[in-house]
């Protein structure tokens, strides 16, 4: 079923135009080809080549329509959108499974592009950012380690030792997404600099590591959700030598760069989830209005009406929270940090609930590979861990709220 997108009267013409043109591509090119397109990840041989060619064709259509890389400034080949416009666009494009990659805004590349933009030198931008934007390079972000808590990045153990004109990296990472295809990794390390020339020993630094550097050992694509392999990779960095100028920003900026990288991305991830919720919702209603059980249509049973109503409430609540957060980020409001954590918790939970109900309404078909609901269910659950688990965000919200009260203020409603 094509998605139904009409202009929203409260929005300006520019955002409505972006939404409608995005919907046009999703309806015409992506939804009818969804199954063929995702063979790129699942199959090998001819089906994979065919999927690859179709993906390239769609990317060319997106670029011609000037809908490529909404998160990047125009001088770097993007659309230069503010958060609000980008959020509204993502809601529409994410109706189709995995469509973000066809619009040039897919993790981990999009997050890496953002930190290269903010912290990269002109030379780093030329060498790494531009090919990443035009799609001739792929990248990974290597922070999480099996032997240290990913939810507490300050505990990471990978070292980058200053040795003359080089950094020498040693460490063990895992869940580095896109690790199979990546041409380079941005690796989060702890600096060891006995000379003190580059910074303090123990401080965090992010370093660009080409994936073909000797000592970069991609051990495996970790199996997830019952699948034997994925592109979330375990990687051992064993005496990996890269030039000093591969540091991204200064020693000591690594932790902040990781926060910058994830912070913005969370708003777009949430809007992606909302696009997926609309899809699950449409599927649920489609089945409820056509399936006969016990002498009547599902839609006439009150249990099912409850599913529909609760899902509508979940989507609207998640959507309005996320739009509000995008507006605050655009205004440069420091309070937006609390709201980013709030949506990072609420939206994946709401997404899980909506998909769970859609699966229930479809019965056995709901868990089959004939529908995208199973993949959505896994995606929603995973989002509660990736980019910082729920508990860490709850701690941050409580800390920000309590800080105000401890300073003798109460919470400013509406802000
Ligand atoms: C599909 C997927 C893709 C990923 N991609 C990447 C990637 O590209 N690059 C990368 O570097 N990482 C990636 N990650 C890793 C992800 O960022 C980490 O899994 C996440 O930060 C949690 O770290 P951890 O797994 O080490 O869990 P731990 O830090 O061991 O935490 C385990 C659990 O402890 C609980 N917990 C943690 N802190 C507290 C607390 N203070 N109070 C109470 N409970 C707490 C939480 O419930 C948490 O889930 C990915 C993960 C997944 C699942």
The CB of 175 under 6 Å from ligand 1? The reply is: yes
Q: The CATH number of 139-248 is which of 3.40.120.10, 3.40.50.12780, 3.30.230.10, 2.40.110.10?
A: 2.40.110.10
Please spell the DSSP secondary structure of 73-141, one letter per residue: -GGGTS----HHHHHHHHHHHTTSTTGGGGGT--TTHHHHHHHHHHH--HHHIIIIIHHHHTTS--EEE
Which protein residue's CA is at the shortest distance from atom 9 of ligand 1?
176
pLDDT digit string (tens) for the chain, length 415 residues? 889 999 999 999 999 999 999 999 999 999 999 888 877 666 678 888 888 899 999 999 999 999 999 999 999 999 999 999 999 999 999 999 989 999 999 889 999 999 999 999 999 999 999 999 988 999 999 999 999 999 998 899 999 999 999 999 999 999 999 999 999 999 999 999 988 888 888 899 999 999 999 999 999 999 999 989 899 999 999 999 999 999 999 999 988 888 877 776 788 889 999 999 999 999 999 999 999 999 999 999 999 999 999 999 999 999 999 999 999 999 998 889 999 999 999 999 999 999 999 999 999 999 999 999 999 999 999 999 998 899 999 999 999 999 999 999 888 776 6
Q: Can you give the pLDDT at residue 244?
A: 96
Prediction pTM value: 0.94
Q: Residue 244 phi/psi, 5° resolution?
A: -50, -40
The sign of the dihedral angle between the CA atoms of 176, 177, 182, 187 is negative
225, containing H or E segment: none
Ligand 1: distance of its center to the CA of 232 in Å? 13
Contacts of 414 (CB under 8 A, 6+ apart): none
Ligand 1: distance of its center to the CA of 324 in Å? 27
Contact call for residues 223 and 152 (beta carbons, < 8 A): no
The CB of 398 under 6 Å from ligand 1? The reply is: no
Ligand 1: distance of its center to the CA of 386 in Å? 6
Identify the residue whose tokens are 């529908």. Answer: 371
Q: Can you give the pLDDT at residue 42?
A: 65
Which protein residue's CA is at the shortest distance from atom 26 of ligand 1?
150
Contact call for residues 237 and 209 (beta carbons, < 8 A): yes
The CB of 395 under 6 Å from ligand 1? The reply is: yes
The CB of 389 under 6 Å from ligand 1? The reply is: yes
The CB of 153 under 6 Å from ligand 1? The reply is: no
N-term to C-term CA, the chain? 39
Atom of ligand 1 nearest to the CA of 179: 8
Ligand 1: distance of its center to the CA of 31 in Å? 32
Q: Can you give the pLDDT at residue 74?
A: 94
E strands, 164-253, where? 166-176, 184-192, 204-210, 216-221, 233-243, 247-248
Ligand 1: distance of its center to the CA of 323 in Å? 26
Helix (H, G, I), strand (E, B) or coil at 7: coil
The sign of the dihedral angle between the CA atoms of 194, 197, 202, 207 is negative
The CB of 230 under 6 Å from ligand 1? The reply is: no
Q: Residue 139 phi/psi, 5° resolution?
A: -145, 165
Helical packing angle, 83-93 and 254-288, nearest 10°: 40
Atom of ligand 1 nearest to the CA of 151: 29
Contacts of 94 (CB under 8 A, 6+ apart): 100, 271, 272, 273, 274, 275, 276
Q: The CATH number of 13-105 is which of 1.10.540, 3.90.1200, 1.10.3470, 1.20.120?
A: 1.10.540
Categorise residue 214: left if φ over 0, alpha if ψ from -120 to 50, beta otherwise: beta
Domain 255-406 has CATH 1.20.120.10: no
Of 166, 167, 141, the C-alpha closest to 156 is 141
CA–CA dist 35, 48 (Å, integer): 12
Q: Can you give the pLDDT at residue 387?
A: 86
Q: What are the domain boundaries of the chain?
A: 13-105, 139-248, 255-406
Helix (H, G, I), strand (E, B) or coil at 326: helix
| DSSP assignment letter at 58 | H
399, containing H or E segment: helix 390-406
Ligand 1: distance of its center to the CA of 404 in Å? 28
Helical packing angle, 13-25 and 45-64, nearest 10°: 160
């Amino acid at each position: 079923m094509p998605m139904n997108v009409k202009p929203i009267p409260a929005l300006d013409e520019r955002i409505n135009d972006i939404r409608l043109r995005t919907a046009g591509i999703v309806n015409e090119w992506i939804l009818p080809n969804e199954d063929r397109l995702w063979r790129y990840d699942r199959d090998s041989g001819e089906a994979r080549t065919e999927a690859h060619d179709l993906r390239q064709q769609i990317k060319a259509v997106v670029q011609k329509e000037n809908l490529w890389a909404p998160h990047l400034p125009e001088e770097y080949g993007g659309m230069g959108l503010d958060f609000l416009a980008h959020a509204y666009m993502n809601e529409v494009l994410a109706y189709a499974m995995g469509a973000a990659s066809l619009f040039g805004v897919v993790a981990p590349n999009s997050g890496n592009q953002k930190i290269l933009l903010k912290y990269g030198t002109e030379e780093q931008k030329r060498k790494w950012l531009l090919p990443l934007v035009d799609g001739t390079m792929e990248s990974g972000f290597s922070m999480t380690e099996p032997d240290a808590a990913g939810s507490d990045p300050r505990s990471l153990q990978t070292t980058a030792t200053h040795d003359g004109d080089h950094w020498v990296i040693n460490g063990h990472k895992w869940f580095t997404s896109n690790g199979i295809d990546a041409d380079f990794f941005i690796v989060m390390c702890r600096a060891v600099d006995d000379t003190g020339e580059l910074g303090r020993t123990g401080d965090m630094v992010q370093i660009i590591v080409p994936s073909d550097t000797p000592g970069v050992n991609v051990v495996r694509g970790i199996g997830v959700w019952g699948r034997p392999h994925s592109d979330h990779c375990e990687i051992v960095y064993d005496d990996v030598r890269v030039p000093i100028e591969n540091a991204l920003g200064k020693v000591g900026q690594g932790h902040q760069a990781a926060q910058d990288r994830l912070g913005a991305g969370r708003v777009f991830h949430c809007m992606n989830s909302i696009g997926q919720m609309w899809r699950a919702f449409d599927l649920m209603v489609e089945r409820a209005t056509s399936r006969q059980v016990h002498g009547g249509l599902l839609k006439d049973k009150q249990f099912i009406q409850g599913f529909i109503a609760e899902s509508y409430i979940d989507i609207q609540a998640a959507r309005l929270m996320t739009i509000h957060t995008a507006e605050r980020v655009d205004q440069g409001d420091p309070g937006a940090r609390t709201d980013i954590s709030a949506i990072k918790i609420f939206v994946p939970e709401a997404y899980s609930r909506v998909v769970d109900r859609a699966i229930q309404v479809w019965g056995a078909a709901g868990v089959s590979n004939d529908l995208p609901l199973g993949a959505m269910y896994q995606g929603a659950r995973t989002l509660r861990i990736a980019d910082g688990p729920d508990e860490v965000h709850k701690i941050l919200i409580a800390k920000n709220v309590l800080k105000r009260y401890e300073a003798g203020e109460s919470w400013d409603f509406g802000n």
